Structure 1
Amino acid sequence: MKSQMTYEVRKPSKIDPNKKYPALFLMHGIGSNEQDMISIVDGLENHFFIFSIRGHLSQPPGYAYFTIQGFGKPDREVFDQGINQLNRFIDYAVEQYPVDSNFLYLLGFSQGAVVSMTIGLSLGNRIKGIVALSGYIPSFVKENYHIKPVDHVSLFISHGEFDNILPYEWGVESYEYFSSLGSQVTFKEYQEGHSISPVNKQDFTNWLLDDLTKN
């Protein structure tokens, strides 16, 4: 089985052949690439198999997972194709690597956060945790997607108060939406723009390591 997606993988330095490991899937922002996300999870390869996935669409100077029709409005057909490919990649990773399917985590920034939360809603409790940095949930996902139960999914959602690309209020809406579905959500705000601050990085790293210890 071969993946249709280009990706980078990081793994623990010492692999026990009799063990399966938690997996962390990284999704980048628009115009970026799989290398960009690796740097913000430095050190976590001791705890996870890390898969950093390149968007399948060219978006100079990098790539994207979907195109935009308007402000906060992805092109539905292209978006659906991207989500389907990412869902298939998760299946591929679980099949091809020693990954524990009970410990699947998603982490995305900006457009990557949009697809991370959407994947979480489409796969439901198959996902254990989501880190969504400066993203939103498209309205058609809430209205038209088949939303699976997410009452066992934990989330870390963060947003910059001064984000001039994707409004801070959209982060609050994501927090409220997942909370209404019964998910355990940690919401953090930072006095930042559309970026990942060192404090934000430390906070979500601590959250991931803490969530790993929970059943």
Structure 2
Amino acid sequence: MNSPMIYELQKPSHMEPNKKYPALFVMHGIGSNEQDMFSLLEGLKDTFYIFSVRGHLSHPPGYAYFTIQGYGKPHREVFDNGINQLTSFIDYAVEQYNVDSDHLYLLGFSQGAIVSMTLGLTLGNRMKGIVALSGYIPSFVKAEYNTKPVNQISLFISHGECDNILPYEWGVESKEYFESLYAQVTFKTYSEGHTVSIENQQDFTNWLLADLAK
């Protein structure tokens, strides 16, 4: 079976034979690539299979998972296709690698956070946790997608209070939306703009390791 998307894989440095490991699927921001996110994941590399997935659309100087027709409005057909391809990639990774299908996590920044939260809604409790850094949930996803129960999913949602790309209020809306669906949400805010601070990185790293230990 060929991979439906280009990706970079980092495995735990000391692996025990026949042991299954948790998987972390990582999605980058628009115009970036699969290499960009690894600098944020130093504290997780010995614990997870980390699949950093390249967006399938060219968006110089990098790539994207979907295109945008207006502020906060992805092109629906392109977005749907991106979600379908990412879903197929998760299926591929679980089938091809020795990962623990009960411990699947999603992590994304900006556009990567948007697709991560959407995948959480479409895959539901198949996911164990989601880290969504500075994203939002498109309105058509909430209104029209066939979403699954998320009452067993844990989320770490963070947003910069001075974000001038995706407004801080959109992060609050994401938090409230998942809470309304009975997901367990940790919501963190930072004084920065549209970026991931060192404090934010430390917080989500600690959150992921603590959630995995539950």
TM-score bin (small chain):
over 0.9
CA distance in 1, matches of 2:152, 2:50: 22
Matched, 1:196 2:196: yes
1:101 match: secondary structure: strand
Question: Which residue of 1 is the match for residue 140 of structure 2?
Answer: 140
Q: How far is the alpha carbon of 1:105 from its aligned partner?
A: 0.2
1:202 match: secondary structure: helix
Amino acid at match of 1:55: G
Unaligned runs of 5+ in 2: none
CA distance in 1, matches of 2:44, 2:196: 17
Matches within 5 A, 1:115-154: 115-154=115-154
Matched, 1:12 2:12: yes
With the length of structure 2 as denominator, give the TM-score of the two structures: 0.99
CA distance in 2, matches of 1:5, 1:135: 22
1:84 match: secondary structure: helix
Unaligned runs of 5+ in 1: none
Counting aligned pairs with the same residue, the percent is 76
Task: State the Cα deviation string for residues 143-170 of structure 1 (Å, max 9, x = none).
Answer: 0001100000000000000000000000
Matches within 5 A, 1:64-79: 64-79=64-79
Q: How far is the alpha carbon of 1:52 from its aligned partner?
A: 0.1
Question: Which residue of 2 is the match for residue 184 of structure 1?
Answer: 184
Matched, 1:46 2:46: yes
Question: Which residue of 2 is the match for residue 112 of structure 1?
Answer: 112
Task: State the Cα deviation string for residues 59-91 of structure 1 (Å, max 9, x = none).
Answer: 000000000010000000000000000000000
Question: Which residue of 1 is the match for residue 160 of structure 2?
Answer: 160
Task: State the Cα deviation string for residues 182-206 of structure 1 (Å, max 9, x = none).
Answer: 0000000000000000000000000
Question: Number of matched residues?
Answer: 214
Q: What do you get for the CA RMSD once the two structures are aligned?
A: 0.5
**Deviating runs (4+, > 3 A) in structure 1?**
none
Q: How far is the alpha carbon of 1:54 from its aligned partner?
A: 0.2
Task: State the Cα deviation string for residues 20-66 of structure 1 (Å, max 9, x = none).
Answer: 00000000000000000111001312110000000000000000000
2:4 match: secondary structure: coil
1:81 match: secondary structure: helix
With the length of structure 1 as denominator, give the TM-score of the two structures: 0.99
Q: How far is the alpha carbon of 1:17 from its aligned partner?
A: 2.1
Matched, 1:169 2:169: yes
Matched, 1:211 2:208: no
CA distance in 2, matches of 1:43, 1:8: 17
Amino acid at match of 1:173: E
Matched, 1:28 2:28: yes
1:66 match: secondary structure: coil
CA distance in 2, matches of 1:55, 1:187: 26
2:55 match: secondary structure: coil
CA distance in 2, matches of 1:162, 1:13: 38
1:46 match: secondary structure: coil
1:206 match: secondary structure: helix
Amino acid at match of 1:46: D
